[in-house]
Amino acid sequence: MIEHQAIYTEPELLPDYKGNPLVEALPPVLEDSREVIDMLSYNGEYHDEERQYAARYRMHYVLRLFRYFQPLEQHLDIEERFSHCIRQGYLHRNPLLPDYAMALAEGHKAIKSGEYVIPRAYNPTASGFTIIGLSGVGKTSAVTRVLNLYPQVIVHSRYRDTPLILKQIVWLKLECPHDGLIKGLCMEFFGAVDYAAGTNYFEMYAKRTTTIDLMMMRMEQIVRLHCVGVLVIDEVQHLCLAKSGGSEKMLNFLVSLVNKIGIPVVLIGTTPAKDVLQKKFRQARRSSGHQGDLLWDRMENDTSWDIFVSTM
């Protein structure tokens, strides 16, 4: 994974974020919809003379359509949601403040003792949301394209005149295990962090003999240590397969990441996931925050459809 060296830009029009290196190292907020559309679009190449070539060649040209991407209204909505939730999630997680070091120390102490302790009072500003829609409408590809507007890993060494040794992970995207079990999610988390940041957490922590509670505590500590900006969980409909209250336990754990650490959690799933989130999520509205759920249905024969087809 490519690591980006931190370049700090003071957000003049967003004074709430001034002095926070986690936010100042992010790309600037995109000012208008046209800019978002230009950055998300991919139309591919087309040359009129290719229509005259043999069928064997033309099939290769047609496959370019799989890379075609035309941003529509829901894509602009998703981009804006991520812009909000990542920055708001960092609002009270400034690594220059004493609370950051204290939270790390408490987490380390809890892991060493093996006993879970409630961390010091936090004032979380994180606000995740859910994206629910039919299979194949483009939820995952849309989120992946939006996340790629941000560097996944930012390396800090010095902020202004202050030393700051930190490998910031702006986003992590995981898939909910097919059996809906927390242990599988934790293992995938360790692997995803290793891939992004070049660490070896999977080798150290993803052991069959390790208890789920200890895995969860280590996962929380890694989120703190690397200042993870947003955690995206795809295929949450697999929670329907979790047995013995496993789905409720996992969803409550994800809520605890929001409430205790302040990291936004975004859940993506097909329509069966809607029932899981509404019936078993003890604090379901916390997952939506002030942004609300995004319900993604098939396209209608309207202006968006005309734009999509005509551009293609």
Q: Has residue 291 got a pLDDT over 80?
A: no
Which tens digits make up the pLDDT trace of 105-116? 888 787 777 665
Decide if 65 is inside a domain. Answer: no
Decide if 78 is inside a domain. Answer: yes
Q: Which residues contact 54 (CB under 8 A, 6 or more apart)?
A: none
Decide if 203 is inside a domain. Answer: yes
Q: Which domain holds residue 211?
A: 3-30+70-311
Q: Mean per-residue pLDDT for 281-289?
A: 47
Q: Mean per-residue pLDDT for 51-62?
A: 94
What pTM was computed for the model?
Answer: 0.88
DSSP string, 3-33: EEE------TT-GGGTT-HHHHTSPPPP-SH
CATH of the domain at 127: 3.40.50.300
Decide if 282 is inside a domain. Answer: yes
Query: What is the pLDDT, as a whole number, of residue 285?
Result: 43
List b or e across 182-220, with b for residues whose CB sees 16 or more CB atoms inside 10 angstroms. bbbbbbbbbebbbebbebebbeebbeeeeeeebbbbbbb
Residue 121: which pLDDT band, with cuts at 50, 70 and 90? very low
Query: What is the pLDDT, as a whole number, of residue 281?
Result: 53
Q: Mean per-residue pLDDT for 174-182?
A: 85
Tokens of 173: 């995207």
Decide if 181 is inside a domain. Answer: yes
Which tens digits make up the pLDDT trace of 217-276? 888 899 999 999 999 999 988 877 666 566 777 777 777 777 777 788 899 998 888 777
120 vs 144 pLDDT, higher one: 144
**What is the average pLDDT score of the chain?**
85
Decide if 117 is inside a domain. Answer: yes
Whole-angstrom CA distances from 252 to 206, 228, 283 are 21, 19, 8
Taking Cα atoms as reference points, which of 19, 23, 152 lies closest to residue 89?
A: 23
Phi, psi at residue 130, to the nearest 5°? -120, 145
Q: Has residue 23 got a pLDDT over 70?
A: yes
Number of domains in the chain: 1
Strands (E), the chain: 3-5, 129-133, 153-159, 162-169, 171-175, 230-234, 265-269, 294-296
Decide if 231 is inside a domain. Answer: yes
DSSP 3-state assignment of 162?
strand
Most confident of 62-71, 202-211, 285-294: 62-71
Decide if 89 is inside a domain. Answer: yes
